[in-house]
Amino acid sequence: MLYNLHTHKFSNHPDCLELVNQYPQEFDASIPFYSIGIHPWYIVEDRMEADLAIIEDKIQTANCLAVGECGLDKRIEIPFSLQEQVFRKQLALAEKYQKPVVIHCVASFQELIAIKNDVKITVPMVIHGFSKNEQLAKQLLDNGFYLSFGKYLLRNPELESVFKSVPDNRFFLETDTIEETIEEVYALASKYKAISEEDLQEIVQRNFKNVFKK
C-alpha cells in the first residue's frame, strides 16, 4: 500500500491512500480521505469565520484526517499578521479535535517554530513539500515537526542528502500538484535511502498509522 501525504488531485488509485487537500468553499464529499484548511494564499478576511465554521464541521468526520494545508507565506501580499491569525485559529481547531496539521510554509520557518511552541500544540505537524537544507531540516525535526517530500525531491538532486538525513520515523512522501506519480516519488526515495521499495512502503505506512491513525 502506498500513502500520498498531500495531493490536490484525487486519482482513486486502488493501491494508494491519498490525503486530498480540500478547501472549505470547494468541498467534495465523495473524496474518501482528506485534509481541509484555509491556505494562506486564499485567505478572504470577511469569509474567514464562515470558512472556519465549515472546517470545524468537516474535521469531526472520520474521513477528515488532518487540518490543512494551512500556514505562513512571506512571499505573498496577504498581511502576515492576518495569516498568523488564521493559522492560529486552525491550530486551535486541530488541537480541539486532535487532528494532525499539514503545513504550507514559505520563508517563515522561525515564525512557525515560535507559534508551535507558543500554543504548545500536541498534535503532529507535517511540513509538506520540504525543499530546504539539512540545517533547517534538523531544526524542524528537533522541534517535533515531520517532513514530507515530493516535487522538490524529484526536481532538485541536492535534496538527496537532506532526505537521507531525516530519520525513518519522521518523513512522508507526496505528489502535491505535480504530474509525476506517487510511484515515481517512492522509487527515487527508496534509491536515496538505499532500501527496497517494499521496505520503504512499510516505513511510510508505519508513519502514517502513527500520525493519522489509518
Residue at 181: amino acid letter: T
pTM for this structure? 0.97
Q: What is the pLDDT of residue 40?
A: 98
CATH T-level topology, domain 2-212: TIM Barrel (3.20.20)
Distance CA 192, CA 28 (A): 36
- pLDDT tens per residue, range 68-81: 999 999 999 999 99
C-alpha distances out from residue 27 to 48, 52, 92, 174, 189, Å: 16, 13, 21, 21, 32
Buried b (16+ CB within 10 A) or exposed e, 164-187: eebeeebbbbbbbebeeebeebbe
Distance CA 25, CA 152 (A): 29
Q: Which run of H or of E encompasses 210?
A: helix 197-212
- The binding site for a divalent metal cation consists of 69, 104, 128, 176
In order along its 214 residues, the chain shows pLDDT tens digits of 999 999 999 998 899 999 999 999 999 999 999 999 999 999 999 999 999 999 999 999 999 999 999 999 999 999 999 999 999 999 999 999 999 999 999 999 999 999 999 999 999 999 999 999 999 999 999 999 999 999 999 999 999 999 999 999 999 999 999 999 999 999 999 999 999 999 999 999 999 999 998 8
C-alpha distances out from residue 114 to 7, 50, 88, Å: 27, 27, 12
- The binding site consists of 69, 104, 128, 176
User: How many other C-beta atoms can be found within 10 angstroms of the C-beta atom of residue 89?
Assistant: 18
Q: What is the pLDDT of residue 214?
A: 84
Q: Which run of H or of E encompasses 54?
A: helix 48-58
Distance CA 203, CA 214 (A): 14
- pLDDT tens per residue, range 95-139: 999 999 999 999 999 999 999 999 999 999 999 999 999 999 999
